[in-house]
């Protein structure tokens, strides 16, 4: 049954059938469920005056499904956290990683259709990511290396959220700031969904005109987020992820101290994940090469101290990366040790015989005859990245 109401009568649990009257430039064209008061507030901000609801589609507004369930078992911020074994955290982390891609897809769809979304969902999810980092950061850090080439847009922001949470923890930032960092990372690239595919996924170098279109993704994302109830401080951080200290970044060309501390962190992590990501048209580079590029951009473009701290946080051989050992085996780094050049690894592949081995953990600090020769990239050995990670960390 259809019923016309004013925006002041709209409540969570109602189903919007049609927008009747709206003021402002950003229009709402689609139908949808009103899952929270935040969505009502967003519609008001967008100038909605009256609308038609379908009373036959009313629904309960209690949290449903997996999108928010993770938070129910999370400890409070002031409760002590105990580190758990990697194997024990991997199951929860794997669930979170899949959940994050699903939520990111919903958010991008909302931006594309100019629909509001319930900000409590990505906010709660970001808190769950931080809790997993607290329990054992190596689990999610391993999973940042599991990529689907066609899902870069979904995975990039998820990975940035994970890496930022880990970076913030490493720097000793407060619980609240780490949560905000992860949240900002998760939302920072939403505007890219509005960039034409032929530019967004172009394999070659963009023309000057195409680059100007690409740069617009930051403004698109900020404009959309400003219609939500997201804190203005977080929106500022998100707006700065392509700004550079020399003032040659975009979209505002701000420079030096005008860029926030968190914005500088986001710029570094965003660039690192983009450099190391596999795309449809190119393989990602090694962490070591990405670190070199970051260092070359400091101190003129990136904050030198933060770049140095980020590299220290990640380690010479980051968790989840591949290394070639002196015994002609490939291994995945699963834990850092006090010796940066001798991490704990999981050996899984024989380069000499070109076949997988039964995964075996090896602490290189205790091995006299085996050492890391160099960082490795899976594509150089024609290994399916996802297949070897699933085998190596024993996740299904």
Are both 41 and 177 inside the same structural domain? no
User: What SS3 class is residue 259?
Assistant: coil
Q: Is position 63 within any domain? A: no
Would you say residue 215 has pLDDT above 90? Answer: yes
Residue ending a domain, choose from 314, 348, 372: 314
Are both 78 and 227 inside the same structural domain? yes
Would you say residue 30 has pLDDT above 60? Answer: no
Q: Which of 10, 60, 19 is nearest to 39 (CA)?
A: 10
Strand partners, 5: 51
Q: Is position 64 within any domain? A: no
Q: Which two tokens mark 15? A: 């189903």
| Per-residue confidence band for 342, with pLDDT thresholds at 50, 70 and 90 | very high
Range(s) of the domain holding residue 22: 2-57
Are both 296 and 384 inside the same structural domain? no
Number of domains in the chain: 3
Span 297-310, average pLDDT: 97
Are both 346 and 269 inside the same structural domain? no
For the chain, the C-alpha Rg in angstroms (whole number) is 23
Residue 76 has a pLDDT of 43
Running DSSP on this structure, what letter comes out for residue 246? T
Residue ending a domain, choose from 272, 291, 314: 314
Residue ending a domain, choose from 57, 87, 102: 57
Are both 225 and 356 inside the same structural domain? no
Q: Is position 36 within any domain? A: yes
- pTM given for the model: 0.79
Identity of the highest mean pLDDT range in 86-95, 244-253, 384-393: 244-253
- Percent of the chain clearing pLDDT 70 (strictly above): 88
Q: Is position 62 within any domain? A: no
| Per-residue confidence band for 300, with pLDDT thresholds at 50, 70 and 90 | very high
Would you say residue 351 has pLDDT above 50? Answer: yes
CA distance 102 to 85: 26
Residue 279 sits in a domain of what CATH number?
1.10.3210.10
Exposed/middle/buried for residue 201 (C-beta within 10 Å: 0-12, 13-18, 19+):
middle
Between CA 46 and CA 53, with CA 52 as vertex, the angle to 5 degrees is 105
More confident residue, 198 or 382: 198
Are both 184 and 97 inside the same structural domain? yes
Are both 297 and 281 inside the same structural domain? yes
Strand partners, 14: none
Running DSSP on this structure, what letter comes out for residue 283? P
Residue 391 has a pLDDT of 52
Q: Nearest 5°: phi and psi at 26?
A: -90, 110
Would you say residue 154 has pLDDT above 50? Answer: yes
Angle subtended by helix axes 287-296 and 261-276, to nearest 10: 140
| Per-residue confidence band for 27, with pLDDT thresholds at 50, 70 and 90 | low
Q: Which of 136, 137, 105 is nearest to 121 (CA)?
A: 105
Span 189-206, average pLDDT: 93
CA distance 116 to 110: 6
Q: Is position 29 within any domain? A: yes
Q: Is position 40 within any domain? A: yes
104-128 pLDDT tens trace: 999 999 999 998 888 999 999 999 9
Q: Is position 100 within any domain? A: yes
Are both 274 and 338 inside the same structural domain? no
Would you say residue 78 has pLDDT above 90? Answer: no
CA distance 140 to 120: 22
CA distance 26 to 331: 51
DSSP characters for 69-133?
GGGGGPPPTTS------HHHHHHHHHHHHHHHHHHHHHHHHHHHTT----THHHHHHHHHHHHHH
CA distance 16 to 32: 5
Q: Which two tokens mark 98? A: 């899949």
Note the residue count of the chain. 396
Would you say residue 228 has pLDDT above 60? Answer: yes
Are both 239 and 256 inside the same structural domain? yes
Span 58-62, average pLDDT: 57
Are both 348 and 301 inside the same structural domain? no
Q: Which of 298, 299, 292, 248 is nearest to 272 (CA)?
A: 292
CA distance 38 to 44: 10
Sign of the four-CA dihedral 367, 373, 377, 382 = negative
Q: Is position 48 within any domain? A: yes
Are both 132 and 24 inside the same structural domain? no
Are both 84 and 189 inside the same structural domain? yes
């Amino acid at each position: 049954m259809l019923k016309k109401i004013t925006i002041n009568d709209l409540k969570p649990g109602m189903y919007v059938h049609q927008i009747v009257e709206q003021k402002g430039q950003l229009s709402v064209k689609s139908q949808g469920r009103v899952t929270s008061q935040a969505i009502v507030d967003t519609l008001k901000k967008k100038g909605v005056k009256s609308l038609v609801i379908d009373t036959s589609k009313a629904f309960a507004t209690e949290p449903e499904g997996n999108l928010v369930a993770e938070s129910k078992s999370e400890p409070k911020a002031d409760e002590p956290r105990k580190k758990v074994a990697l194997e024990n955290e991997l199951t929860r982390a794997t669930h979170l990683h899949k959940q994050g891609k699903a939520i990111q897809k919903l958010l991008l769809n909302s931006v594309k259709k100019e629909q509001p979304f319930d900000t409590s969902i990505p906010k709660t999810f970001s808190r769950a990511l931080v809790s997993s980092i607290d329990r054992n950061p190596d689990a999610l850090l391993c999973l940042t290396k599991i990529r689907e080439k066609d899902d870069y847009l979904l995975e990039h922001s998820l990975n940035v959220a994970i890496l930022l949470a880990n970076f913030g923890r490493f720097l000793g930032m407060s619980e609240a700031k780490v949560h905000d960092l992860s949240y900002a990372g998760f939302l920072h690239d939403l505007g890219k969904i509005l960039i034409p595919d032929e530019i967004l996924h172009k394999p070659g170098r963009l023309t000057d005109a195409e680059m100007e279109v690409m740069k617009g993704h930051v403004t698109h994302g900020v404009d959309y987020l400003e219609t939500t109830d997201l804190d203005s401080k977080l929106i500022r951080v998100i707006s700065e992820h392509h700004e550079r200290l020399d003032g040659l970044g975009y979209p505002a060309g701000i420079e030096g101290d005008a860029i926030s501390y968190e914005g500088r962190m986001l710029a570094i992590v965003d660039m690192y994940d983009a450099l190391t990501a596999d795309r449809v048209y190119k393989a990602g580079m090694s962490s070591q090469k990405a670190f070199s590029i970051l260092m070359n951009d400091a101190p003129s473009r990136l904050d030198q101290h933060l770049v140095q701290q980020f590299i220290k946080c990640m380690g010479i051989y980051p968790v989840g990366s591949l290394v070639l050992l002196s015994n002609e085996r490939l291994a995945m780094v699963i834990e850092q040790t006090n010796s940066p050049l001798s991490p704990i690894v999981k050996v899984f592949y024989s380069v000499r015989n070109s076949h997988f081995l039964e995964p075996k953990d090896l602490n290189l600090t205790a091995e006299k005859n085996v050492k890391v020769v160099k960082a490795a990239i899976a594509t150089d050995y024609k290994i399916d990245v996802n297949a070897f990670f699933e085998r190596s960390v024993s996740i299904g």
